[in-house]
Amino acid sequence: MLLTDPQRRTLDRLIGTAERPVFAADLRQRLVDRIEGAVRELELREPLWLGKEALNQLARCEGRFAARLEGEDPPFEHSVHTAAGVLVHKAIEVDVGSRDGLEPHAIAVTAAERLAEREERFDEYWRGRTAPEQDELLMEVVRKVTLFQGSFPPLRELRREMAPVTELPVKAQLLGGDLTLSGKIDLVLGVPDRLEPSRATRLAVDLKTGGAWPEYAEDMRFYALLMTLRFGVPPYRVASLFLDSGEWQAEEVAEETLFHTADRVVAAARSAGALLGGREATLTPGSWCGWCPRVLVCPSAEPRSA
């Protein structure tokens, strides 16, 4: 297959061709034991759901995490930014999954139609835009799809070798459903090794349309944990890929990474148990206060955010 230099670079250096690592067959069970053993005694008021965002909120400020637990976040409404985000992800799904090769604008239009059919909130947002506004949004998607196609080898043509999956929802239920970990991974590549099932053969990628943030590395480690709990074997590598530049931040997955993330989950579950049991949250103000629903009433809120 003929590839451009950036596509070849992604194939050789991000996806890689080196022999994949083999993990211990009991790794998943040891992770389950670590989490369940540590949080079994907690008396949670109701089943707890944790995702990468909740863990990041706790890492920034326990008060922000408490606000989430108490359901204080305003109901979600699309902005131009979030609508473009979901549309770009749907468009990449269309690009990778379509039977026929489509050009980027047709991909964007198909994605908008499918998303409007399936997601009520997007449909409402989409129908509320004027035709020029819709066109602008479609052009933003065309730009990102073009960047995606310029960064990756043509995944549609490599389905047999790479089994690409987009927007993979992964959920792990622990403690009989009292604790659920969940997330949706933008792109997973790799075919399981049927002869050696504990060999890590998958790559998990988050596609980013903006700049880098420090928590992206933890987000990807969380996805590695989720995949281990769900599939029994971790991805060999996780990465955030920045569509604007085609560059990425990648990390090899190791047992230590997975246990580190399991400990973050345990810390979040313990914090949730204590907060819901009436303990006061420890407040750590910062620039994130601007996105906190408690910003106007919190005694520690970062002044400029309020």
Please give the residue whose beta carbon sits closest to ligand SF4 in the complex: 63
With a CB cutoff of 8 Å and minimum separation 6, the contacts of 53 are none
Least distance CB 82 / ligand SF4 (angstroms): 21
One-letter identity of residue 49? W
Least distance CB 62 / ligand SF4 (angstroms): 7
> Do the strands 179-189 and 247-252 form a parallel or antiparallel pair, or are they unpaired?
unpaired
Tell me which stretch binds ligand SF4 (CB under 6 A): 101-109, 143-151, 240-248, 298-306.
298-306
Least distance CB 72 / ligand SF4 (angstroms): 10
Q: Are 270 and 39 in contact (CB under 8 A)?
A: yes
- Of 109, 222, 211, 207, the residue nearest 164 (C-alpha): 207
Q: In the complex with ligand SF4, which residue's Cβ is closer, 176 or 303?
A: 303
Rounded (10°) angle between helices 131-151 and 104-118:
120
Binding of ligand SF4 at residue 289 (CB under 6 A)?
A: yes
Q: In the complex with ligand SF4, which residue's Cβ is closer, 201 or 300?
A: 300
Least distance CB 63 / ligand SF4 (angstroms): 3
Quickly list H helices, the chain.
Answer: 5-9, 27-39, 52-60, 62-69, 80-97, 104-118, 120-127, 131-151, 159-162, 216-231, 255-276
Binding of ligand SF4 at residue 295 (CB under 6 A)?
A: yes
- What is the helix (H) or strand (E) element at residue 207, kind and residue range? strand 203-208
Least distance CB 258 / ligand SF4 (angstroms): 29
Least distance CB 276 / ligand SF4 (angstroms): 16
Q: How far apart are CA 236 and CA 119, in angstroms?
A: 33
Three-state secondary-structure class, residue 24:
coil
Binding of ligand SF4 at residue 292 (CB under 6 A)?
A: yes
Q: In the complex with ligand SF4, which residue's Cβ is closer, 250 or 283?
A: 283
The DSSP secondary-structure symbol of 189 reads E
The DSSP secondary-structure symbol of 248 reads E
Least distance CB 74 / ligand SF4 (angstroms): 14
Binding of ligand SF4 at residue 22 (CB under 6 A)?
A: no
Binding mask 232-271 for ligand SF4 (x = CB under 6 A): ----------------------------------------
Binding of ligand SF4 at residue 288 (CB under 6 A)?
A: yes
Tell me which stretch binds ligand SF4 (CB under 6 A): 82-90, 189-197, 205-213, 287-295.
287-295
| Contact positions with ligand SF4 (CB under 6 A) in 265-284 | 283
Provide the CA 273 distance to its chain's centre, in angstroms. Answer: 25
Q: Are 14 and 220 in contact (CB under 8 A)?
A: no
- Name the phi and psi angles at 220, rounded to 5: -70, -35
Least distance CB 198 / ligand SF4 (angstroms): 42
Q: In the complex with ligand SF4, which residue's Cβ is closer, 75 or 299?
A: 299
One-letter identity of residue 260? H
Binding of ligand SF4 at residue 298 (CB under 6 A)?
A: yes
| Contact positions with ligand SF4 (CB under 6 A) in 43-102 | 61, 63-64
- Of 136, 138, 135, 130, the residue nearest 111 (C-alpha): 138
The contact set with ligand SF4 (CB under 6 A) reads: 61, 63-64, 283, 285, 288-289, 292, 294-295, 298, 300-302
